[in-house]
């Protein structure tokens, strides 16, 4: 039995998904796909796009909230998986009112939601992506007290299981307070961690396996501080808030 277990552990190790290159030059293309610059090694695109050829490609999935424009689909196919108040009203993200929070409160609902999201993960894998970025891990903080951190952690563990089952690495997106929870994420995507002084929470857990994104609407000081502190240690980029494609008005993409 011990020999069998050793062989099984070795097999699992061989099958472990590969994370993005440490401190690799990264681009964040959620506002629309475009050919990356020649030095870019890591590209994140929405799950509805194809991966960027010749790069480590990360598939963005809105896993904890509905994507804008999809409410009618959820209402038709999975109405009971939308988070609702006691009065029956759906709970919207106050910052993104087109996004409705998903109901993570029970094991049965988390299992049903994971089945939906697994289909997206599998599509990401078949399209050629190498990793998943599941967004809105922190949805419980905007749930009017209906969701709790423990619900997010339990659902995240299902997502990690399914991503790894599809041969994909998976990122912790923001939410530094969960970095030490042992959920099983392979790397982190940290937006504005310099602005909020949170970057250390990610590097403590993930070392060099962190992609930091700072935004132009915060000015350049946070980006410059990030570069001075961590350039060459993790991936750092500056992007416009709307992450528009290159050539569009307002486009900014810098790395250090």
The three-class DSSP label of residue 80 is: helix
Q: The domain 2-255 belongs to what CATH superfamily?
A: Aldolase class I (3.20.20.70)
The three-class DSSP label of residue 9 is: helix
Parse the chain into domains and list their residue ranges.
2-255
Q: Pinpoint the alpha helices (H) of the chain.
A: 2-15, 71-77, 107-127, 149-165, 199-206, 221-230
Q: Specify the pLDDT at position 16.
A: 73
How confident is the model over 50-65, as a mean pLDDT? 99
Q: Judge contact between 55 and 44, C-beta under 8 A.
A: no
Task: Name which of 228, 247, 224, 249 is nearest 238 in CA terms.
Answer: 224
| Reported confidence tier of residue 134, pLDDT bands at 50, 70, 90 | very high
| Reported confidence tier of residue 13, pLDDT bands at 50, 70, 90 | very low
Asked if the model's pLDDT at residue 136 lies above 70, the reply is yes
Of 1-10, 116-125, 147-156, least confident by mean pLDDT is 1-10
**What's the pLDDT tens digit per position in 156-191?**
999 999 999 999 999 999 999 999 999 999 999 999
């Amino acid at each position: 039995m011990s020999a069998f277990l050793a062989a099984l552990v070795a097999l699992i190790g061989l099958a472990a998904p590969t994370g993005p290159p440490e401190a690799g030059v990264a681009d964040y293309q959620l506002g629309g796909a475009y050919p990356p610059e020649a030095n870019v090694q890591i590209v994140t695109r929405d799950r509805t796009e194809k991966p960027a050829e010749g790069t480590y490609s990360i598939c963005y999935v809105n896993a904890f909230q509905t994507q804008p424009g999809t409410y009618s689909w959820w209402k038709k196919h999975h109405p009971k998986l939308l988070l609702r108040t006691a009065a029956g009203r759906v709970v919207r993200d106050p910052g993104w009112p087109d996004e409705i929070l998903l109901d993570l409160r029970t094991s049965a609902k988390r299992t049903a939601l994971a089945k939906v999201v697994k289909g997206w993960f599998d599509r990401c894998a078949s399209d050629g992506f190498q990793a998943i970025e599941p967004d809105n891990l922190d949805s419980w903080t905007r749930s009017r007290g209906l969701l709790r951190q423990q619900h997010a952690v339990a659902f995240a563990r299902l997502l990690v299981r399914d991503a790894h089952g599809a041969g994909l690495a998976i990122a912790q997106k923001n939410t530094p307070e969960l970095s030490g929870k042992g959920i099983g994420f392979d790397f982190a995507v940290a937006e504005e961690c310099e602005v909020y002084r949170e970057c250390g929470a990610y590097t403590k857990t993930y070392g060099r396996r962190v992609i930091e994104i700072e935004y132009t609407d915060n000015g350049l000081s946070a980006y410059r501080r990030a570069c001075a502190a961590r350039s060459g240690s993790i991936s750092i980029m500056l992007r416009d808030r709307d992450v528009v494609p290159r050539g569009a008005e307002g486009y900014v993409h810098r790395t250090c």
